[in-house]
Amino acid sequence: MRVKDSLTHAGSRLLHPGTWHLRTRLVALMLALLTVICALVGLVSYTTTSVTLNSQLDSAVNAATLRTSQFFAGPNGGTAGSPRDPLNARATSAGQLSAVLSNGVVHYAGILAPSGSRQELTNADALVLAELPTTSALTDRNLSIGSYRLQATGLPTGDVLITGLPLAATQQTLARLVLSMALVSLAGLAMLGLAGTFIIRRSMRPLEQLSEVATKVAHLPLDAGEVALSVRVPDSAAHSGTEVGNVGNAFNAMLDNVSHALQARQRSETKVRRFVADASHELRTPLTAIRGYTELLQMTEPLSPDGKTSLGRVTAQSLRMSRLVEDLLMLARLDEGQPLNLHMIDLSPLAMDAVSDVRVSAPDHHWNVEVPDAPVNVLCDDGQIKQVLLNLLSNAAKHTPAGTTVHTKVAVEADGTAVVQVSDDGPGIDPAFKDVIFDRFSRADKARTGTHGSTGLGLSIVQAIMAAHQGSVSVTSKPGKTTFTLRLSPGTATPAPKPSASTQSQVQSQAISSIG
């Protein structure tokens, strides 16, 4: 099937020259022009040679007719009853045809054979000769011995003298000319095609280098991070003064400009990242002091009901501000690419612990967890992976109404990839919001029902942590079913051997105690 599809695709491309490579079109155009030139040269050569050969043959037939008529009508010349043979005329060439037509009957019809003997004509040939016009016009006829150019001339005796010469030599010469021109043209086209392909390919090499450089640049990750845009068009393809060289030179200038812009963007991002990290770090101390003093006031000072309410709001907002600062600080650290504290851990207990933690803060939701019997051992930073799970679970609690069921599942795919899914049967995510759901400070409050505000950094942290672990996070959503899927690649997630019965009982006990 693949071979058939490939042949169909190739045939479709052949029928549409616009889809051919430029060098293919140039070679095809060159060969087409050369073919037309060869055909015109061949036609002119054939026509000229044919006219020359036929003119020579006409002159030879006229000369033969003159000699034969002089011989036949001379002193003691032949008549209808004379035995004189026209083939005995002077300078009669081999293959010459001579005949005398008297009263519509052919006499003395014969051909001079190469051996010098006389060769008689058949009755069918005699009938052809008898039908010739006697106007001395040259006429071509096909006889049993071949094609002849004939001339019938009236004699003073009232008889008709027929003289002819064979067309075989002329036809063979023209046939050899056609064959020679065809062979020479084909050989020339083949050699010119090979030479033209080599020359055009060599001439098109700078454009191919431009294409290679553009392809490399197109596959570079230019959207974020420090980018080393070091690819350039080679100097051989960037010489000013030629069309291709000017394009290569302009392309290099464009790459230089893009490289400078990327470096400026990176410097700006680095400054912003450093500012966020420094600001977040510096804000932790005053926020801690604010929380401490508010708690101290609540414990030591008599406050009115309004004062207690106001102080409670201060405490709540300071806690929210602290969470925002911690999120910003974590993102800054992830952006800086700080090394991970990797350990081989089992994802199942980690998922159950995360569900248990969120279950305490959101008891109005139904929380389920499903883990395999065998441990799912993953080389990761357990603190960060637990943060990922807590963010997903807390998002499900915040953005779904009370009574929603949140299901967490841990599994291992056939290729060894560890998979964690967090699903809920809430109202779903607005399709317009799915495209920006992992962007920083994007909020889903308008897309999904919820009672708690958010900073819009939770899913950004999830994506950053999964990228640092060379994993991925994806989301699918429709009304009544929203699923976030975490994947850790086979290089970091490997299924462990099935544990013993005692180990399975221990894991199941942990799950029951965590959920129940």
- What one-character-per-residue DSSP string does 170-213 give? HHHHHHHHHHHHHHHHHHHHHHHHHHHHHHHHHHHHHHHHHHHH
What is the mean predicted confidence (pLDDT) over 131-144?
87
Lowest mean pLDDT among 96-105, 106-115, 175-184: 106-115
**Per-residue model confidence (pLDDT) at position 25:** 82
In the prediction, which pLDDT does 172 show? Answer: 92
Residue 480: what pLDDT? 87
Query: 1.10.287.130, 2.40.37.10, 1.10.3720.10, 3.40.50.970: which CATH number matches 220-338?
Result: 1.10.287.130
Are β-strands 146-154 and 138-143 bridged in parallel, bridged antiparallel, or unpaired?
Answer: antiparallel
Please report the pLDDT score of residue 233 as a whole number. 81
pLDDT at residue number 22: 75
Between 3 and 46, the more confident residue is 46
What is the share, in percent, of the chain residues with pLDDT greater than 90? 18
Residues 6+ apart with CB under 8 A from 38: 181, 185, 188, 189
Confidence of residue 366 (pLDDT cuts 50, 70, 90): very high
Judged against a pLDDT cut of 80, whether residue 204 lies above it is answered with no
Phi then psi for residue 367, to 5 deg, are -115, 125
pLDDT, average across residues 61-88: 68
The architecture (CATH level 2) of 343-515 comes to 2-Layer Sandwich (3.30)
pLDDT at 449 over 60: no
| Radius of gyration for the chain, computed over Cα atoms and rounded to the nearest angstrom | 51
Per-residue pLDDT at 509: 35
DSSP-derived secondary structure letter, 220: S
Q: Where in the chain are the domains?
A: 2-47+174-215, 77-169, 220-338, 343-515
Top-confidence range, 88-97, 117-126, 287-296, 414-423: 414-423
pLDDT score at 69: 81
The tally of CA atoms less than 13 A away on the side-chain side of residue 123 is: 0
Using pLDDT thresholds of 50, 70 and 90, give the confidence band for residue 18. Answer: low
Q: What is the mean pLDDT of the chain?
A: 79
User: Is the model's pLDDT at 290 over the cut of 70?
Assistant: yes
As a whole number, mean pLDDT of residues 492-508 equals 39
pLDDT band at 450 (very low <50, low <70, confident <90, very high): very low
The position carrying tokens 């290099």 is: 252
Report pLDDT digits (tens) over 168-186. 889 999 999 999 999 999 9
**Max mean pLDDT range (240-249, 435-444, 487-496):** 240-249
Strands in 97-102's sheet, in edge-to-edge order, are 118-120, 105-112, 97-102, 160-166, 146-154, 138-143
> For 15-19, 298-302, 328-332, 436-440, which range has the lowest pLDDT when averaged over its residues?
15-19
